[in-house]
């Protein structure tokens, strides 16, 4: 028996599959975590891209706590969801692309948090220009999170 089969044959994974409320509750928590992560990062990414210019960048740094709490929630609930059908998910190219999108999105969030939000007061001045590189990374971040959401929904129907 492989490790993936062992994971999906645990009592918890069995409960996830057969419980009337287990999977829906965990999926709901996963959606809440996703809203925390993607909702905040979309606002930050759009602000880095200049929409809206009147929104100060410096206070957005405080919202990163919500992003990391949402990410931890998604990590825990994602592992729970994975356990219900570990072999299928692991063998799915769509699932792997979803994970790659999430990892890329997290990496971009770390970079943008330190390089832009970390010095937000510098970019809040009227004459300040956010570097083109940060704008490219913000655009990629939007793309990665949209991909993660779409691929995550698609995996459910494979």
Among 14-23, 28-37, 119-128, the least confident range: 119-128
Q: With 90 as the cut, is the pLDDT of residue 156 above it? A: no
Q: With 90 as the cut, is the pLDDT of residue 58 above it? A: no
Q: With 70 as the cut, is the pLDDT of residue 120 above it? A: no
* pTM score above 0.75: yes
d(CA 114, CA 66): 16
| Domain coordinates in residue numbering, the chain | 3-155
How confident is the model over 21-44, as a mean pLDDT?
96
Q: How many helices (H) and strands (E) does the chain have?
A: 8, 0
Q: With 70 as the cut, is the pLDDT of residue 21 above it? A: yes
Q: How many CB atoms lie within 10 A of CB 28?
A: 12
């Amino acid at each position: 028996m492989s490790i993936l089969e062992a994971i999906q044959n645990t009592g918890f994974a069995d409960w996830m599959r057969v419980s009337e409320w287990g999977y829906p509750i965990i999926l709901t928590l996963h959606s809440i975590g996703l809203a925390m992560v993607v909702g905040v990062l979309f606002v930050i990414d759009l602000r880095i891209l200049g929409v809206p210019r009147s929104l100060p960048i410096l206070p957005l740094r405080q919202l990163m706590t919500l992003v990391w709490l949402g990410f931890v929630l998604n990590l825990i609930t994602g592992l729970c969801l994975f356990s219900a059908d570990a072999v299928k998910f692991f063998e799915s190219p769509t699932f792997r692309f979803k994970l790659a999108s999430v990892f890329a999105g997290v990496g971009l969030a770390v970079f943008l948090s330190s390089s832009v939000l970390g010095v937000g007061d510098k970019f809040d001045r009227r004459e300040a220009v956010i570097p083109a590189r940060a704008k490219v990374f913000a655009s990629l971040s939007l793309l990665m999170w949209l991909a993660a959401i779409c691929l995550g929904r698609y995996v459910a129907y494979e």
